[in-house]
C-alpha cells in the first residue's frame, strides 16, 4: 500500500464531511470488550447448559476457534485491507477501510474495529459457522473465534501504544512496525506470525532499526 504521508502522532483526522459518520469511524479500544465478552459468555452458557457439551470438547473447539480466527485475520488483512483497487471509488473505500491506519498508525481511536464493521462481520461469520458446525456446536466454536478476535484487537492497540519487555511482545511489535514502516506488502499477521510463515509472506530483510523507533 503506497503512502505519501505517515503521521507518528496520536491524531485522528476526519474522513467524511458528515459529523456523525466521522463519529462512528472512531472508537475507544475498550468497546469491543463490552460488545463481545458478553457474546462469548452467552455462547459458553449455551454450550454448557443448553447443549451440555463436555469440557474437553469445549477446550478443543476453543483452540480450533482461535486458530480459525488467526486464519481469517491474516486473509482479511492481506487480501481485503491491502487490496489495491484501480477505480477512484475503490481507492476511497480502501483508504477508509485500512489506508487511513497506515497514514495515521498511532491514531488511538482507529486501532480496533468499529462496531459498524465488526457487528455485521460477527453476524455473517456466525451464520457461516452455523452452517458448517450446526446448532449444537456453533456456540462452542464461536467462543474461541471471538476470543481470538478480541486478542487481535487488544493486541493491535497495544502494539501501537504499549511498552513491552517480554520477548514475545517485543518480537510481535517489531513485526507489526516493520509492516507499517518498512515492508507493508509483507508481515500481515498481527496477533501471530504463523500464517505469514505458511503463506511465505515473512519479511525479506533483517533490518532491526525499526525496533529502536517504537
Q: Which of 120-124, 142-146, 205-209 has the lowest mean pLDDT?
A: 205-209
Average pLDDT over residues 175-201: 94
pTM of the entire predicted model: 0.90
Q: Which H helix or E strand runs over 103?
A: helix 100-103
Coil vs helix vs strand at 10 = coil
- The 8-class DSSP code of residue 113 comes to -
- pLDDT at residue 213 in the model: 47
What does pLDDT average to over the chain? 90
Residue 110, CB half-sphere, CA atoms under 13 Å: how many? Answer: 24
- pLDDT at residue 1 in the model: 42
What's the pLDDT tens digit per position in 94-133? 888 888 898 898 889 989 999 988 999 999 999 999 999 9
Residue 122, CB half-sphere, CA atoms under 13 Å: how many? Answer: 21
Per-residue cell: 160: 501501537
Separation of alpha carbons 62 and 151, rounded Å: 13
- pLDDT at residue 103 in the model: 87
Separation of alpha carbons 196 and 127, rounded Å: 27
- pLDDT at residue 179 in the model: 95
- pLDDT at residue 28 in the model: 94
For residues 204 and 186, the answer to whether their CB atoms sit within 8 Å is yes
Residue 212 in this model has a pLDDT that exceeds 70: no
Give the residue carrying C-alpha cell 493486541: 155
Higher pLDDT, 212 or 128: 128
Residue 114, CB half-sphere, CA atoms under 13 Å: how many? Answer: 16
Amino acid at each position: 500500500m503506497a503512502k505519501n504521508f505517515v503521521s507518528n502522532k496520536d491524531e485522528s483526522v476526519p474522513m467524511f464531511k458528515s459529523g456523525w459518520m466521522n463519529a462512528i469511524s472512531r472508537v475507544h479500544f475498550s468497546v469491543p470488550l463490552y460488545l463481545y465478552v458478553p457474546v462469548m459468555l452467552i455462547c459458553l452458557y449455551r454450550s454448557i447448559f443448553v447443549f451440555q457439551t463436555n469440557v474437553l470438547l469445549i477446550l478443543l473447539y476453543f483452540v480450533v476457534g482461535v486458530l480459525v480466527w488467526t486464519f481469517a485475520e491474516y486473509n482479511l488483512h492481506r487480501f481485503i485491507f491491502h487490496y489495491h483497487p484501480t477505480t477512484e471509488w475503490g481507492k476511497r473505500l480502501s483508504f477508509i477501510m485500512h489506508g487511513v491506519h497506515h497514514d495515521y498508525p498511532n491514531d488511538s481511536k482507529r486501532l480496533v474495529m468499529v462496531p459498524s464493521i465488526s457487528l455485521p462481520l460477527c453476524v455473517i461469520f456466525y451464520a457461516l459457522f452455523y452452517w458448517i458446525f450446526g446448532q449444537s456446536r456453533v456456540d462452542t466454536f464461536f467462543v474461541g473465534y471471538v476470543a481470538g478476535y478480541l486478542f487481535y484487537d487488544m493486541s493491535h492497540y497495544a502494539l501501537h501504544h504499549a511498552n513491552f519487555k517480554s520477548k514475545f511482545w517485543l518480537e510481535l511489535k517489531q513485526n507489526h512496525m516493520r509492516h507499517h514502516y518498512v515492508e507493508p506488502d509483507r508481515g500481515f499477521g498481527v496477533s501471530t506470525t504463523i500464517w505469514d510463515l505458511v503463506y511465505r509472506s515473512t519479511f525479506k530483510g533483517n533490518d532491526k532499526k525499526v525496533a529502536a523507533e517504537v
